[in-house]
Amino acid sequence: MSKPFAITLKPGTSLANLTGTWRTERPVYINRLPPCNNACPAGENIQGWLFHAESGDYEQAWRVLVQDNPLPAVMGRVCYHPCEGACNRGQLDESVGINSVERFLGDEAIKQGWKFDAPATSTGKKVLVVGAGPSGLSAAYHLARKGHRVEIQEAGPLAGGMMRFGIPKYRLPREVLDAEVARILDLGVRLTLNTKVANIEQSMKQGGFDAAFLAVGAHIAKRAFIPAGDAAHIVDAVSVLRSMEGEDKPMLGRRVVVYGGGNTAIDVARTAKRLGATEAIIVYRRTREKMPAHDFEVEEALQEGVMIKWLSTIKQAEEGSLTVEKMVLDDKGVPQPTGEFETMEADSLVLALGQDVDLSLLEGVAGLEISNGTVQVSPDMMTGFPGIFAGGDMVPSERTVTVAVGHGKKAARNIDAWLRGATYQPVAKHEIATFDKLNPWYYSDADKTVRPMLDMIRRQTSFDEVQGGLDETNALFEARRCLSCGNCFECDNCYGVCPDNAVIKLGPGKGFQFNYDYCKGCGLCVAECPCGAIKMVPEET
């Protein structure tokens, strides 16, 4: 067809006009650090594993998860999930139930019998891990995956540390813990129980260990000076909780008073209730807002009938009774005595005032610095003695399972580097994907899934697990509530909203790239990216 000159044009010929020359700013794809990942003490790539869970690929999700944390089923129960506190979705409706999805994945792994991949190589190096708590298990796991031979020496009769001897069964069923420990041991980690390391240098030399990671935990209960009559029944929380694992259950009486405001105080009070106490009363110096225990735990305890007496200190203990002084908070929130006293009945008083570390194994080791009852470590988790690393409750930090697991991972990376004569170089963190970087319009309204709770009678009378897990539908739903903050999740918005067709879609899983020949730099893709994974940068001048 001979087409009339100029009147009729060939289709699509405007490709000859490179409108990219109009641009003064260019969009670039970036990755921002999601706040959940940033907040996770265990350094989990939460968004990463949620991504797979969103598509229903739970095994892949679990595998991504356990790259950082070998204990998802435990973590899904006992972690206080700072990730959820940081979750941007919290500003939209409610944060994503990361913890519940983690538990689902952990339970699914146990149910399906998923195993860790065997280490690809063997380095021939031997590492001693002291303590089979969360930190020690985590370090052992990561070291084993890096091809080192690992032996855990544990003073107690069972692995798990505080996970077993500090956390009640109703929060962490022991078969879950056992399954996750067993999976770590399946990697070839050797566990020696009932073996207290008395002298670390000696133990290392004897065993021919190239490095050691110390994670003995904090098992010694802190005492407070409370004038007490001889007949007063005063015990510490650590012993109470530990004895729950033995044959003989602790005898606390019908009216139990717990002194303290941390999670351990809550655990003991709830345990007492389950052991048959008609009254379990927590006495705490300050107010509920100031209480270190997590609010949801406090709430659950209250639901179960635990009572809490705020702004009170125990001044004296006698047989069957306590003397309590009322306190007030001063301007700075510090409790001050009022001089008002009262008496309350109590068959026993449980002190939950914190724990100390047994540092006896370090006696005589050169270069160590001990302060406030903890071992000081460098940022690479190494103590002052080369080759000896430490983590968990025995180093200065928040004392949670998740932090401990994080320590184990971090220490393992550094031990691995040290063993290779290198220094571990952490990957630089991206800028955090804060809420203002997102375009939340695009996320559908979806309230958080509520996890099922055990009925109240059983909560008050048995040690059955209180909080249930999600089923698959719920877990999928919850995973899909993730906003994928800061990282492209292939929603195609940039591809769709570009008026100049200057975004090239590379195909599923491959993301996008800009066609700068035609991109005019309008910035629509940036504005309409739901998750803040594009930014504008000035063109070079």
Partner 1 sequence: MLKQTEGSKAVAEAISLCRPEVICAYPISPQTHIVEALGEMVKAGRLTPCEFINVESEFAAMSVAIGASAAGARAYTATASQGLLFMAEAVYNASGLGLPIVMTVANRAIGAPINIWNDHSDSLSQRDSGWMQLFAETNQEAVDLHIQAFRLAEELSMPIMVCMDGFILTHAFERVDIPSQQQVDAYLPPFEPRQVLDPAEPVSIGAMVGPEAFMEVRYLAHAKQMQAIERIPQLAAEFKQAFGRDSGGLIRTYCTEDAETIIIAMGSVLGTIKDTVDEMRLEGHKIGVLGIISYRPFPLAQVRAALINSKRFLVLEKSLAVGMGGIVATDVRMAVTGTGLKGFTAIAGLGGRPITKASLHKLFREAEGEALPPVTFLDLDWEAVNKQLERERQTRRSGPVAENILHDKGIVSAKFG
Partner 2 sequence: MGFQPVKFYQTGTFTVGNRLLAPMDRSVQAGQTRSNSINSGHRACQGCGEALGARYAIDAAMAESNNQLIAVNATGCLEVFSTPYPESSWQVPWIHSLFGNAPAVATGVAAAMKVKGKTDVRVVAQGGDGSTTDIGFGCLSGMFERNDDVLYICYDNEAYMNTGVQRSSATPPAARTATTMPVGPEPGNVFGQGKNLPEIAMAHGIPYVATATVADLRDLEYKVRKAMKMHGARYIHLFVPCPLGWGTASSDTILMARLAKESGMFPVFEAEHGEVTGVLKIRRQVPVEEYMKPQKRFAHLFGTHARPDMVARIQAIADRNIRKYGLLEDEGN
Question: Is residue 528 a contact partner of residue 494, using CB atoms and an 8 Å limit?
Answer: yes
Element (H, E) at 356: strand 355-356
Smaller CB separation from partner 1, 15 or 231: 15
Question: Is residue 407 a contact partner of residue 392, using CB atoms and an 8 Å limit?
Answer: yes
Question: Is residue 152 a contact partner of residue 140, using CB atoms and an 8 Å limit?
Answer: yes
- Binding partner of 379, given partner 1, partner 2, none, CB within 5-8 angstroms per partner class: none
- Binding partner of 491, given partner 1, partner 2, none, CB within 5-8 angstroms per partner class: partner 2
- Could you say whether residue 522 binds partner 2 (CB under 8 A)? yes
- Binding partner of 4, given partner 1, partner 2, none, CB within 5-8 angstroms per partner class: partner 1
Q: Which two three-digit tokens encode residue 244?
A: 């729950």
Contacts 24+ apart (CB under 8 A), 223-231: 223/351, 223/353, 224/259, 224/351, 224/353, 226/259, 226/314, 226/315, 226/316, 226/317, 226/349, 226/351, 227/315, 227/316, 227/317, 228/316, 228/317, 228/318, 229/317, 229/318, 229/319, 231/318, 231/319
Question: Residue 339 CB: number of other CB atoms within 10 A?
Answer: 6
Question: Is residue 39 a contact partner of residue 438, using CB atoms and an 8 Å limit?
Answer: no
Question: Is residue 266 a contact partner of residue 359, using CB atoms and an 8 Å limit?
Answer: no
- Could you say whether residue 1 binds partner 2 (CB under 8 A)? no
Instruction: Find the part of the chain contacting partner 1 (CB under 8 A) among 9-17, 107-115, 187-195, 197-205.
Output: 9-17
> In the chain, how long is the greatest CA-to-CA distance?
114
- Could you say whether residue 224 binds partner 1 (CB under 8 A)? no
Smaller CB separation from partner 1, 462 or 501: 501
- Could you say whether residue 16 binds partner 1 (CB under 8 A)? no
- Binding partner of 442, given partner 2, partner 1, none, CB within 5-8 angstroms per partner class: partner 2
Contacts 24+ apart (CB under 8 A), 206-211: 207/126, 207/128, 207/151, 208/126, 209/126, 209/127, 209/128, 209/151, 210/125, 210/126, 210/127, 210/387, 210/419, 211/125, 211/127, 211/128, 211/387, 211/388, 211/389, 211/415, 211/418, 211/419
- Binding partner of 55, given partner 1, partner 2, none, CB within 5-8 angstroms per partner class: partner 2
- Could you say whether residue 208 binds partner 1 (CB under 8 A)? no
Smaller CB separation from partner 2, 303 or 439: 439
Smaller CB separation from partner 2, 380 or 490: 490
Q: What is the DSSP letter of 126?
A: E
- Could you say whether residue 231 binds partner 1 (CB under 8 A)? no
Instruction: Find the part of the chain contacting partner 2 (CB under 8 A) among 101-109, 292-300, 365-373, 491-499.
Output: 491-499
- Could you say whether residue 477 binds partner 2 (CB under 8 A)? yes
Least Å from the CB of residue 467 to partner 2: 24
- Binding partner of 435, given partner 1, partner 2, none, CB within 5-8 angstroms per partner class: none
Instruction: Find the part of the chain contacting partner 1 (CB under 8 A) among 5-13, 49-57, 95-103, 151-159.
Output: 5-13
Query: Between the CA atoms of 526, 529, 533 and 538, what dihedral angle is there, to the nearest 10 degrees?
Result: 0
Smaller CB separation from partner 2, 56 or 386: 56
Smaller CB separation from partner 2, 35 or 392: 35
Smaller CB separation from partner 2, 6 or 457: 6
Alpha-helical segments (H) within 446-513: 456-461, 472-479, 493-497
- The site for partner 1, by CB under 8 A, has a size of 11
- Binding partner of 444, given partner 2, partner 1, none, CB within 5-8 angstroms per partner class: partner 2
Q: Which residues 6+ apart lie within 8 Å of 539 measured at CB?
A: 23, 24, 25, 26, 521
- Could you say whether residue 344 binds partner 2 (CB under 8 A)? no
Instruction: Find the part of the chain contacting partner 2 (CB under 8 A) among 140-148, 168-176, 326-334, 475-483.
Output: 475-483
Smaller CB separation from partner 1, 3 or 332: 3
- Could you say whether residue 332 binds partner 1 (CB under 8 A)? no
- Could you say whether residue 11 binds partner 2 (CB under 8 A)? yes
- Could you say whether residue 2 binds partner 2 (CB under 8 A)? no
Smaller CB separation from partner 2, 10 or 332: 10
- Could you say whether residue 26 binds partner 2 (CB under 8 A)? no
- Could you say whether residue 17 binds partner 2 (CB under 8 A)? yes
For partner 1, the binding residues (CB under 8 A) are: 1-11
